[in-house]
Each structure stands twice: as C-alpha cells, then as structure tokens.
Structure 1
Amino acid sequence: MSDDGRIIDFNEAKNKVKESDVDKFESYMYDLYYDVSEGKMKMSEFSQKLSAYMRENSISPEKMFKIQKKFMERYGMDMSNVEEELKGFGIDINNLKVDPEKQTPEEMERIKRSDSFYSRYGNMIKSRNIVVYNLKNNLNDVEITIDSKVIKIYSEKKIDLNDPALNEFLAGYRRMFNEQVKVVMCEATKTYDY
C-alpha cells in the first residue's frame, strides 16, 4: 500500500507500455521483415521469433498485445475498428485467455499440439486470403473460392455450366482483370468428419 492509502497493482505496472517498448518492438519487426525479404527467414518462423522476443524481454502476452496495439495505432490503424471486426467473428479480445498461468490443462495441451503441428509442417504451409461465394439455385449448389486469378468451384453434384448466374459471376470476376482466369471444377466432392 502506498503512503496515500492506495493499493499498488504491480501487474498493472508490469504491463504498462512505454514508447520505448513500442520503439524497440518496431525495430525488431523491421529486422524480422528484412530477414523474410532477404530469404533468411520463413514467414512460418515469425511466431516463434515473437515468442522468443517475449521471453527474452520478459513481456507478458497482455503487454505484447498492448505493444502491438500501440504499434498499429502509430501507423494509423484504429484498433477499435479491429476489435469490432473481431467481435463480429465471435472473438472478444478482452475475454481472451492469453496468460499461460490461467490456462486449463486442456487448453495448454491444445496449444502444444498446435505448436507441434506448425513446427513440423510450418515451412510447407502457405497462408493466404481467399474469397468464398456460395451459389444455390435450381441448377447448381456450389461453393466458389477465389484465390487471385484461380477460381475453384466445389459441388457434391455435377456442375451445370449453362447456369446463367454462375456464368455471370465468372464473367464479372474475369472482367476485373481483363484477361483469362483459371477455373478449377471439383465435382462430386465428398465431405466427412474426421
């Protein structure tokens, strides 16, 4: 307790972020990105390097989140928008359990399995953004994924290429590039729980 009767919360003090913390993190991030661009490091190693950075600098997950938040704000990102978008996906960052000491044994085991998987296959896995469109009408019931100039059409049945809605969608996407796009058709697909 301090002289004026207030209770001192050491966790709050420990997790307080200073500008120097953000500066150091920014410099570290630039070094990592430079290593990736030079081919000295793979993107799959990024999270391992960040974990090592946290350990070496005694940074808790909560403090790391605050540092990243300030770092992103420095470059004009409004974190309240990001938080709202995450809530739209059902993720409330204020309720995330990120403190290893507060994790249940099951959660810790899940994290270990995930880490093991990415350690083993991480350099072979490529992460990228795709767009998904579902088209269901009297001719087709398909899921369409778009990855740059590659369109994949999935259906449990035969795909009817005479479908005007499907053709309109494909033509509209192709017009965006003003050149050919690759269309991959996956017909008679099977789905099962494993």
Structure 2
Amino acid sequence: MHRAWTKLGLGMLAAAALSACGINDEEPILMNVRSTTTGPDEFAILPAKPLVIPEDLASLPTPTPGGTNRTDATPQADAIVALGGRPERLTPTGQIPSSDAGLVGYSTRYGRTAGIRDTLAAEDLAFRQANNGRLLEQWFNVNTYFDAYEDLSLDQEAELLRLRAAGVRNVSAPPDPNRAQ
C-alpha cells in the first residue's frame, strides 16, 4: 500500500513538473478574456460593407495582395464617423496636426518624459511578473487581474462620498439616498 502512494506521489510530481513547462514567465497574462467554449465566437464576425459600383471605374484602386479592400470592415473608422470625428486621423503620420498644437502645448506645459511608453511597459511587465498569481492559479488559468491591481484601484463609493462632501455635483452618479428629492 505504501508503494502505491509513493508511485501516485511521484506521478503527480512528474505531472506538475511537466505542466510547469508550458507557463510563460516572460510576459504573464493577468486578464484571461479568451472564450473557453468550443462554439463560434460571435464577436469575431464583422459584416462586410455592401458592394457599390462607382460612377467611374477608373477611380477604383489597384488590387494589392494582402492589402485592404473597399468592402473590408473598419469598425474603428466607422465609430469615429458615427461620433462626428474624422477617420483619416487614424493613420498616424508622425506629425501633430496644427489643430491639436494647443492641446499638446497645454498637456506638456510641465515637461514630458521621452520614451515614457517604453518605461511604463517595462514597469508594468515587472509588476505583472511579481503579481502573476499562485502556482495553482497559473496552472488552471485563473483570472488574477483584479487581485493584482486591487491596491491601485479607486474606491468609487468612497470617492463619490468625498466629492459630495466637498459640494461637487456629479450628474452621472446615482442620487444621494440620504438627501430628500
């Protein structure tokens, strides 16, 4: 009987050692938002735009393999148009438009740090590696995002009470239950 338990323990130890080989320690994933079902992903399906014959067929672009198509779905550009924006701003040109010069000047009035995105990405990676969850959470792909960032999150109710005490109105917040309407 003792020998059977030893073999079982060694088998579990070997399975645990082999399962740890698949864990990616370089870039931990705290938020697991992938679907675990075997069915279709209805959010991955984007309807194509309707086919339209232009007035002048010479205005059609030359087809390029791997390039874009006039009927390809462009959800970001469509959302920008629906909100009254200009979708041509989606393509970064590396230049700040003259219409945004005032905004950029105001937001950088106290200075700016060159390479801040790379610095923040490295700091976030170090934070996620330090807060990657316990061993069983990693093995069973448990979402540890909210636990890892809990100390950094805002207590919404306490902040709303603080703002109300200071006399700040927030029309999008629910009404104060202690105040008579």
User: TM class, shorter-chain normalised?
Assistant: under 0.3
Q: Which has the higher strand share?
A: 1
Q: Which has the higher helix share?
A: 1
Structure number with bigger Rg: 2
> Normalized against structure 1, the TM-score is what?
0.22
Which structure has more RCO (C-alpha within 8 Å, separation ≥ 6)? 2
